[in-house]
Every structure is written in C-alpha cells, then in structure tokens.
A and B are shown apart, each in its own frame.
With several copies, the nearest count.
Chain A
Amino acid sequence: MDITKDKLLEMYRSMQRIRHFESKIRDLATANEIPGFVHVSIGEEASAAGICAALRKTDRITSTHRGHGHLIAKGGRLDKMMAEIYGKRGGYCKGKGGSMHIVDFSLGILGANGIVGAGLPIATGSALAAQVAGRDDVTACFFGDGASNEGTFHESLNLASVWKLPVIFVCENNGFGEFTPMRTVTSVSDIAVRARAHDLPGVIVDGNDVLEVFKVASEAVARARAGEGPTLIECKTYRWEGHVVGEAAILGEYAYRSKEEVDSWKLKCPLIRFEKWCAENKKIDAGELQRIVTETEKELDEAIAFARSSELPAASEVTDDVFA
C-alpha cells in the first residue's frame, strides 16, 4: 500500500496535535487550572492518528474517557476542546460536558464517554443507522483493553457481525485498566482473539506504528464500506502517564508498574518512530515536519488563549439543553 505524502503529513500533524494538547492538559491539570478528572493519551497517538486518517469527514467515531486524541485526529478543534476542558461557554459543549464528554456532531464525533464500554453499542447503532438509510458511512469505535471485559463489547461485536454493520472496533490495548494490569483481569493476552467469538476478523497491529495502523484501518474501512461487515483491530500500545492526572500524588510514583517498563515504551515513541521512518525513506524532509510542529505550537497557544478568554457559563444556563 502506498501512502500519499498528504496522508503522511496529515497523520504526523494529528500526532503532534495530540502530543502537544495532551502534554499541555497534563500540566494544566497538575497545576489545578482544570477541574475534574483528566485522562491523557500521551504515547498512544499513533492509533488515533492512523485510524482516523483512514476515515472521511462523514464517517463517525465514538471515543472514551481517554478521548482527546481520537477527537483531535478526527479533526476536533483544539480551541473549542480546550475551552470545554476549562469549563467555558466557548467550549464544544458550552462547559456542560468537560474532558470526558466532548462531542462534535459536524465532524461525526459522537462523543467521548465517561462510562467504560458505553461507546461500543453507540458506534454499532451509528453504523446501523447508516445501513438502514443506505449510506456507506463507516463508524470507528475506540475503546481500551479494560473495556473489552464489559458485556457491551461482546454484545456489540455480535450485533455488528450478524447484521454486517459498517463499524471498526479499535481496541487500544495499553496493558492497564486504571492501576490493574490487564493480565490479572483478562483471560486472554490478545483482545483480537475475541473477534472469533463473533465471527469477524481480528487483527493485531503495532499500535505505535502509525503506518501499520493506517494500513490495517484502510482495509477494515474498505471492507465495512463495501458491506462486508465489521473488523476488530487491536493496537498494542502503552500510556506514558498515569491513568488519571494526579494519581501519583495519591498512589506514589510507579505504584503499579516499573520505571523500566515505562521508559522502555518511551523509546518506542510513535512520533520519533515516524520521523525516523521519514528520514530513512526520504519521504518528508525534517524541515517540513518541523513546520508542522511550529504550526501546532501556535495552534495550541491560540487554543489556550481562546479557552482562557472564553467566559464561564452563567448559572442561568444550567437548565438549557435538557430537552430538544
């Protein structure tokens, strides 16, 4: 599969936007400038970027509590995301949702979700709507290894398989659900194996290799769009940061995994890997990549400025938006 230069640049930009955004969010939350629970996805950028690069604008995604990356990769605006996470009126949800509930319908972002496993039936239903209406839009559904132990995971895969729905189930397997290592609570070591329980293809991919993710995703999307049904893609990856920003203050550093383990994954950074690949294969020169970084820094600065200057919602707005 030959990936166009535009696609490569798009994926790199996605990864940089995620990395920059998440790093900033971590710092802001640590400094208590942001309320609530914040989960960041540093180290997992390639799966979000690779999957979303295989989608078009009318395709849809569902996401999780750790959702910023997916939303950004699907085209989410950093300024409105940042403002939402600040709880400001200028945010995507007018401050009503926050980090775990960002939605952008115009981009097919059906939402982050605070409930583990809740996105799977929603994604399945989104694909069902496309099928009933006779449209060929595809829905990609992000979730974690932990979520694959929820019943909704299996109920969704079964339904999607029986009805041949155009949905891609993307398991970002980072080896942990909160502070619990996957191997202590999950009966299998590869989530992809579970696809067989529902007669759909299950593919394992190096989740830190954006090119591989993109290739596998493109095939799954083509299959789905052609009416051939769902695919389960397992992206093996790792989160560099804690489950939730601030956890080390409660649990201590390295309470449930070793420094060595974390460091070994930092060596597999998906961004550096991509940069190296570009250099080795002479695909994109370093200057062009650097320009993306610069642009992203600027975008992020503007997003923060936007968020800070946006107003907090007025108390009177609390009763708006319950019913249509």
Chain B
Amino acid sequence: MPQTNFIQAINQALSEEMRRDPNTFLMGEDVVLAAFGATKGLIDKFGPSRVRNTPISEAGFVGAAVGAAMAGARPICEVEFASFFYCAFDQVCNQAAKLRYMSGGQASLPITFRAVYGAMGGAAAQHSETVYAQFLSVPGLKLVVPSSPSDMKGLLKSAIRDDNPVIVFEHGALGRLREEIPEGDHLVPLGKAAIKRAGDNVTVIAIGAMVPKALRVADKLVKESISVEVIDPRTLIPLDETALLESVEKTNRVVIADEGHLRGGAAADIAALIAEQGFDHLDAPIKRVTALDVPIPFSPPLEKAAIPGEDRIEAAIRDLMGR
C-alpha cells in the first residue's frame, strides 16, 4: 500500500466526505489554492459553490458556519492557523458550543473546524499556539488532535459525520510524517484512545505531535529494559478516560506529554483526572512534560527550549523510574 502523509490524508478525508454528503461544503481563507495543500483540487471536484474562499473575517465566516449548520448544511470551516480562532472566539465558544443546549436540544450543529497548531519552526508567538487547551472548558465542543496520517483521515471523516461542532487540529510540523492508511471507508471513532505502544513500567499519555516523540523515547529506553506504554487520547473531548485510567492501573506511573503550556493546559486536565480517579494506582507523582510558560519565541534555539523535546520526556520517565 502507498505511504500517505498528513496533508494527503486530510485531502482524502475531505474529498470522500464531500462526495458522500451533498450537504457538506468547505470554506475558509484560501481554501481554493490551498496554502497548506490539504484542500488542493477540491475546487475542481466540487465547484465554487461548495469550495469558497472567504474574506479575512474570522468572526464573520466562523459565525456563518454556525448559521449554515443551523439552517441544515454541514459546513467544513478552515481557520488556517489555530491562533486565528482568537478572532472568532465568541462564535466558537458562545455560539457554536452553546446553541444546542440553550435551545433545549432543538438545534443541531454539524460543523467541522480545521486548523493548524503548534510550533513549526520560527512561526513565532502569534502563529504557534496550542489553542485546544482553551476549548477544553467549553462544554459543547469536541476536540480532535490526531498524531498520524491514518488517525487524521479516520478522525476527520468521523468529525464531518458528527452532528456536533468538532475542531480538528493538525500539527504544523507533522506534515511530512507518512504511513499506510487502510483502504476503503476508514473511520476512527471520536472518543477512543489508541495504545500506540504497549508497555509495563510507565505510561506516557502523549497528545498530537508529542506522540512520535514519545515513541522514539520508548524505542530508546526499551534497550535499558524500561518498558514504556505510549497512549494517545486522539480526542480530548470526548476523552477516553477508561483507557487512560486502565493504563495507569497497569503501570502505576504516568507522564503526560503535551505541547501546550503547563498552566491550564491539556496535560493539567488529564493529570487532574488521574489524581482524582486513578490515585490509588499511582506509585509516584504525575509528571507533566509541556511547553514552558512563555509565548513561543521566534529564534530556533529559543523555540526548541520552549517546547517539550524527547530529552524532557526521557528525563521524566527516568525520574519516575529512579534511573
């Protein structure tokens, strides 16, 4: 089977789902020419009514996606860099997330948002945000952070079919990762974690771009007979709490690796879950490996220092193992 990268995986998912459901349409800044490549060629397949370049008006077009969903469409709305969600936070947090609940369940809002997040090499503070932490406390949203092309395709397809607002995050530095993707209608359900590597001594819960890093560390440490289990929640909302807690029950030690910040980040969210529900299985403190609490700096050595690398995952594991 051919190797597929992230961008191609996204393109396949969009193409298949837009073909499958004529209620879907795509909009966002420059989706026609596809700055990042993911939406390339869709204009030829689906035409200008279903593939629309928007003005640079995030609040306007994100809000329009909300309205379109309320009126029976199934919009796929791209927000280039996840940091630009800040320009449309009301539309996501106060409208999309809440309208169903506030209407007593009358409204259904099948919207898929896509955005690129994370430090990708010199994009600097305003373009490198790991924004998902700020959506965690907004009931009504689903949050998807795939770590591989195959998961991306399967999760994005599920997101598009979901009847709720779902945000699918794509790490800006994972674009070249390649793998085989199962043929056919490959779906990955929202809310199922994946054990990316089984192990016995320490659980590493890794999110998004941290998954490949954690796997490399696990590869390395196995030579020293440290057996690391790498588990990827894949979706932060809904969160597969059972899978995470079961892993901790097995290993009794946990590191949570996330590119977001330490304070108020997704790692804190998962740590709190385990400290509450998995406490009795823990033999050691819950370690977090995250970005430093600074805006992401521009200069490469500073950026590298700010975001969590393999060295820090390894150090955390060794610390827990006393080695």
Q: Does B87 contact A (CB under 8 A)?
A: yes
CB distance from A182 to the nearest CB of B (A): 9
Q: Is the CB of A321 within 8 A of B56?
A: no
Contact with B along A128-164 (1 / 0, CB 8 A): 1111110001010000001101111001101100110
Chain B residue nearest in CB terms to A321: B105
Given A93-B106, A255-B33, A128 and B67 contact (CB-CB distance below 8 Å): yes
CB of B179 within 8 Å of the partner chain: no
**Residue B53 CB within 8 A of the other chain:** yes
Complex interface residues of chain A between 285 and 324 (CB less than 8 A to chain B): 312-324
Q: How far is the CB of B260 from chain A (nearest CB, A)?
A: 16
**Those of B40-67 within 8 Å (CB) of chain A:** 49-50, 52-67
Q: Which residues on A sit within 8 Å (CB–CB) of B56?
A: 116-117, 146-147, 149-150, 177, 185
Question: Residue B100 contacts which of A62, A139, A149, A321 (CB distance < 8 angstroms)?
Answer: A321
| A94 CB within 8 Å of chain B | yes
Assuming the contacts A35-B298, A93-B103, asked whether A125 and B124 have C-beta atoms less than 8 A apart, the reply is no
In the assembled complex, B305 has its CB within 8 A of some CB on chain A: yes
Please encode chain A, from 240 to 263, with 1 for each CB lying within 8 Å of some chain B CB and 0 for all others: 000000000011000110000000
Provide the residues of chain B in CB contact with A62, threshold 8 Å.
Answer: 67
| Chain A contact residue count (CB 8 A cutoff) | 81
How far in angstroms is the closest Cβ of chain B from A181? 9
CA distance A177 to B104 in the complex (A): 29
With A100-B124, A111-B103, A319-B294 in contact, is A121–B299 under 8 Å at CB?
no
Asked if A30 is at the interface (CB within 8 A of a chain B CB), the reply is no
Q: Which residues on A sit within 8 Å (CB–CB) of B65?
A: 125
* Beta-carbon contacts under 8 Å, A217-241 to B: none
B residues lining the A interface (CB < 8 Å): 23, 25, 29-30, 32-33, 35, 37, 49-50, 52-73, 75, 83-84, 86-87, 90-91, 94-95, 99-110, 121-127, 139-140, 142, 162-164, 292-295, 297-302, 304-306
- Seen from chain A, the residues whose Cβ lies within 8 Å of a Cβ on chain B are 35-37, 60, 62, 87-88, 91-101, 103-105, 110-111, 113-118, 120-133, 137, 139, 146-147, 149-152, 155-156, 158-159, 162-163, 177-180, 184-186, 250-251, 255-256, 312-324
